[in-house]
Structure 1
Amino acid sequence: MTSSTSTARGGEGAAGGAEKPPPPRPALEARTWRECGYLLTSFPLALVTFVGVVVWIYVGGLLSVTVIGLPVLAAGLAGCRRVAAWERARARALLGLRVDEPSPLPRSEEAGVLGRLWSGLRDPVGWRAALFFVIRLPVATLTCWLTVAAGIVAWPALPWLARWFSNVDRLLVRGLLSPSDSLERRITELESGRAALSDTANADLRRIERDLHDGAQARLVALAMGLGMAKETILRDPEAASRLVNEAHGEVKLALQELRDLARGIHPAILTDRGLGPALSAVATRCTVPVAVNVELDERPAEAIEGIAYFTASELLQNVSKHSGAREASIDVWRGEGRLMLQVTDDGNGGADPTAGSGLAGLADRLGAVDGLLAVHSPAGGPTTVTAELPWRDRTVPGPGEPPAGTTPTPITDSE
């Protein structure tokens, strides 16, 4: 009875009542084939690049006592860079490893041949690539032959073994061929900021030279001529000489005022003596709209940072006066998490765009040169809020070109 029942059930299954078995699957997935291909081709490539790097360093080291050695080393580093780019592309194609390209080697036409040569010799990307090619040979030798052995004697375990072996290559590529965010990209940002800062400094020097030539210098020349004429006429026409002396006195006062304004544009005395609060209040009085100033600082930042914050606020208030159509504005300054924060807000027309080649773009570049940031929120119709963030930097540690703490430059004064 039991036997016939079993036979009947077997017959129903054979007739089509039971589930069909799953479709056949390939023994190895495409990913495993790609990883195996990477491991097997790595050995011959690693052998070639290892020999190339060793020969290059040997020849470059021998020739370094001559003028030929350093160009050979620099050319080898450039070659390592290019081969490393191909290795990253191979890792992306076969291992699915997404690695960003490192920053390009900075080039400057003003550096000259020696400057470009020295820049090439100091290339950290090229040296890390050379180290990768040296380390990879023993690794590739081991993983390649292990992969071959696993394919022969442990075929079912090959997907797992290929993944483990290729993970070693992934670590090498990530560690030595990927960009270093903390170094190379930071160097590029600082070099860009330094160039912007240099351009700004050169423009300021030209402006100062023009203002001195067209303003105070012209008045001093007129003053000298007037005093010379007064000297010649003082005996025969004392009244005319007196008029010339009075005119010269007026020229002196105007020249001093122009020099005072010029000095204020370089570094205002009120900022040095009293800090950001009084200095920004003075700037606010020159704006064409009422400006509320709120400065909440328990101590003063570094003098250089203080000056940058002052001129940033001054330029932003000039934009408010010229372009915003606002009825009122405000300046807020505070310290937050070791940074100096400055925010200028107005209720004007809005639409300010730092990417449109305006003065805001130059302002952002100048802030970026000192590790600062500029954020602009200006929808059409307003309001506009511009926030500047600067490093605080302890005032007791002077920056480059700053006077020691506790010293202040002597302001320009005059007496009538």
Structure 2
Amino acid sequence: MTMETKSDRPRTGPREVGRAALRGFGLALVVLPGAVALFTISLVSMALIPIGVGIVTTPWVLTGVRMFADWRRALAAEWYGVRIPPAYRPMPKDANPWTRTFGMLGDPATWRDLRWLPVDMTAGFLTALLPALLLFYPVEGFVIAAGLWRVFPDGYWYGFVPVTGQASAFGAAALGLVLLFFAHFLTPRLLEVHFRMTRSVLASGQGELSERVRVLTETRRDAVDTSAAELRRIERDLHDGAQARLVAMGMDLGTIEVLVEKDPEQARRLLSQARQSSAEALAELRDLVRGIHPPVLAERGLGDAVRALALRLPLSTEVDVELSGRADAPVESAAYFAVSEVLTNAVKHSGANRIWVDVHHAEGMLRISVTDNGQGGAAIGAGSGLAGVERRLGTFDGVLAVSSPAGGPTMVTMEIPCALS
């Protein structure tokens, strides 16, 4: 469920009123023929399924219905912030016409779309056209009062005002003025009603639940894959690094035991070498532990951990932290490694010479932004590193947004819902 703020509600300035009327009029011109045509073609195509023709045509027709519905979802979100999540079942790309036809017909979302088309061609058409009528109909009253009432036939009515002379024409203008007053306040809201009615038919609680389950399943799978990859990395680092050095130290110590009486000088050299190997093994173990869960993160929290990250960067980095407490350890860990990956990307690929990091908590959200003055062009995609960050945050219902126009600057914003202790 989404919460609407005051800024989400339709404004009623002259520009917004005119825009809503024009949008509604243009939408009405598309709604009626589009919905009628798609509904009729869908019924004909499904009726032809028993003779085989519909097996071929129905998937294409239903795909067109989905595209029409998705277009309306996009308009609802863009114009009035009305979110209508699609909940179509996935279909294999290489599915044959038989599988596609009955797979789509077995999808509840398909039948919601088909039920929506008759509603759209009737009530949807009227609610789209009404904002334009409410704004433009008063113009007729003003035209009548201007003296053109004489060209109208006898017994003409403007609303509930019978136009029989100049006095009644002024009455029509007064009614038009009242309608214009209401149009100023109601026109944008009437168009919003159109989209909310669309949502009431197209959306379903089950659909939103299914989408939520799908997202959680994907993020859980990503988390499991990430954990497995991390365990393999730790095993590889231990085997190739610290373990190899410890084995070499054991062999050196065994040799020292043999040489301590026969060749003390050689034994001292091997002891020095063993001491150096132990120091390197300890450093590698510390680096490995820091990669699993940095001690500074556990001891001092996310803010100081991010500052420690910045100190190790080769670029000038400013860190601004405003946190009144600490988030849960898993959230802090996910945020820390997400920031680490973004900073690594900035150092390697951005060409920047300065980075700014802002960490704060507001309205139940941990918000982190990383900005650099590099060349831009960053995008979330497979293999970019940012895709991995997005998956990591998705495990906690977090989101990642990237603004990186050509020429820079690049801003990566991360949000994770959480409470601070």
- Tell me which interval the TM-score lies in, with the shorter structure as reference length: 0.5 to 0.7
What is the deviation of 1:90? 4.7
Of 225, 238, 242, the residue aligned with 1:212 is: 238
What is the deviation of 1:79? 9.8
Which residue number in structure 1 is paired with residue 224 of structure 2? 198
Judged with a 3 Å threshold, the aligned counterparts in structure 2 of structure 1 residues 231 and 379 are, in CA distance, closer, same or farther, namely same
Of 106, 112, 115, the residue aligned with 1:91 is: 115
What is the deviation of 1:235? 1.8
Per-residue Cα deviation, 1:19-59 (whole angstroms, up to 9, x for no partner) = xxxxxxxxxxx99xx99xx9xxxxxxxxxxxxxxxxxxxxx
What is the deviation of 1:89? 5.6
TM-score, scaled relative to structure 2? 0.54
Any idea what SS the aligned residue of 1:180 has? helix
8 Å contact from structure 1 (residues 91, 97) kept in 2: no
Q: Distance in 1 between matches of 2:292 and 2:107?
A: 50
Q: Distance in 2 between matches of 1:275 and 1:88?
A: 49
Which residue number in structure 2 is paired with residue 269 of structure 1? 295
Q: Distance in 2 between matches of 1:177 and 1:278?
A: 45
Amino acid at match of 1:238: P
- Structure 1 residue 388 corresponds to structure 2 residue 414: yes
Judged with a 3 Å threshold, the aligned counterparts in structure 2 of structure 1 residues 260 and 298 are, in CA distance, closer, same or farther, namely same
Per-residue Cα deviation, 1:88-137 (whole angstroms, up to 9, x for no partner) = 46524555489xxxxxxxxxxxxxxxxxxxxxxxxxxxxxxxxxxxxxxx
Any idea what SS the aligned residue of 1:234 has? helix
Which residue number in structure 1 is paired with residue 331 of structure 2? 305
Q: Distance in 2 between matches of 1:219 and 1:272?
A: 28
Q: Distance in 1 between matches of 2:331 and 2:367?
A: 11
Larger Rg: 1
Judged with a 3 Å threshold, the aligned counterparts in structure 2 of structure 1 residues 217 and 343 are, in CA distance, closer, same or farther, namely same
Per-residue Cα deviation, 1:173-195 (whole angstroms, up to 9, x for no partner) = 96899453542111111111111
Amino acid at match of 1:328: R
Q: Distance in 1 between matches of 2:110 and 2:302?
A: 54
Which residue number in structure 2 is paired with residue 82 of structure 1? 106
Of 329, 335, 339, the residue aligned with 2:361 is: 335
Any idea what SS the aligned residue of 1:291 has? strand
Any idea what SS the aligned residue of 2:262 has? coil
What is the deviation of 1:86? 6.4
Q: Distance in 2 between matches of 1:333 and 1:179?
A: 35
Which residue number in structure 2 is paired with residue 295 of structure 1? 321
- Structure 1 residue 318 corresponds to structure 2 residue 330: no
Any idea what SS the aligned residue of 1:340 has? strand
Any idea what SS the aligned residue of 2:381 has? helix
Unpaired runs of 5+ residues, structure 1, are 1-29, 39-77, 99-170, 396-416
Which residue number in structure 2 is paired with residue 149 of structure 1? none
Per-residue Cα deviation, 1:238-274 (whole angstroms, up to 9, x for no partner) = 2211221221111111001000000000000011111
Q: Distance in 2 between matches of 1:276 and 1:229?
A: 47
Which residue number in structure 2 is paired with residue 251 of structure 1? 277
Of 347, 355, 375, the residue aligned with 1:349 is: 375
Q: Distance in 2 between matches of 1:79 and 1:204?
A: 38
Which residue number in structure 2 is paired with residue 183 of structure 1? 209
Q: What aligned pairs does 1:13-412 form with structure 2 within 5 A after superposition?
A: 82=106, 84=108, 87-88=111-112, 90-92=114-116, 94-96=118-120, 178=204, 180-355=206-381, 357-395=383-421
Judged with a 3 Å threshold, the aligned counterparts in structure 2 of structure 1 residues 353 and 85 are, in CA distance, closer, same or farther, namely closer
Per-residue Cα deviation, 1:152-190 (whole angstroms, up to 9, x for no partner) = xxxxxxxxxxxxxxxxxxx9x968994535421111111
Q: Distance in 2 between matches of 1:345 and 1:286?
A: 17
Q: Distance in 1 between matches of 2:343 and 2:202?
A: 48
Judged with a 3 Å threshold, the aligned counterparts in structure 2 of structure 1 residues 191 and 229 are, in CA distance, closer, same or farther, namely same
What is the deviation of 1:285? 1.6
8 Å contact from structure 2 (residues 253, 274) kept in 1: yes
Any idea what SS the aligned residue of 1:282 has? helix
8 Å contact from structure 1 (residues 276, 295) kept in 2: no
8 Å contact from structure 1 (residues 84, 177) kept in 2: no
Unpaired runs of 5+ residues, structure 2, are 1-34, 44-101, 123-196
Q: Distance in 1 between matches of 2:217 and 2:121?
A: 30
Any idea what SS the aligned residue of 2:206 has? coil
Q: Distance in 2 between matches of 1:193 and 1:179?
A: 21
8 Å contact from structure 1 (residues 305, 391) kept in 2: no
Amino acid at match of 1:366: R
Which residue number in structure 1 is paired with residue 75 of structure 2? none
Q: 4+ runs of 1 displaced by more than 3 Å?
A: 78-81, 83-90, 92-98, 173-179
Judged with a 3 Å threshold, the aligned counterparts in structure 2 of structure 1 residues 175 and 221 are, in CA distance, closer, same or farther, namely same
TM-score, scaled relative to structure 1? 0.55
Per-residue Cα deviation, 1:358-383 (whole angstroms, up to 9, x for no partner) = 11111111111210011100111011
Q: Distance in 2 between matches of 1:278 and 1:245?
A: 39
Q: Distance in 2 between matches of 1:235 and 1:272?
A: 48
The percent of aligned pairs where both chains have the same amino acid is 47
Q: Distance in 2 between matches of 1:377 and 1:93?
A: 38
What is the deviation of 1:352? 0.4
Judged with a 3 Å threshold, the aligned counterparts in structure 2 of structure 1 residues 393 and 81 are, in CA distance, closer, same or farther, namely farther
Q: Distance in 1 between matches of 2:332 and 2:352?
A: 27
Bigger shift: 382-391 or 79-88?
79-88
Q: Distance in 2 between matches of 1:186 and 1:371?
A: 10
Amino acid at match of 1:224: G
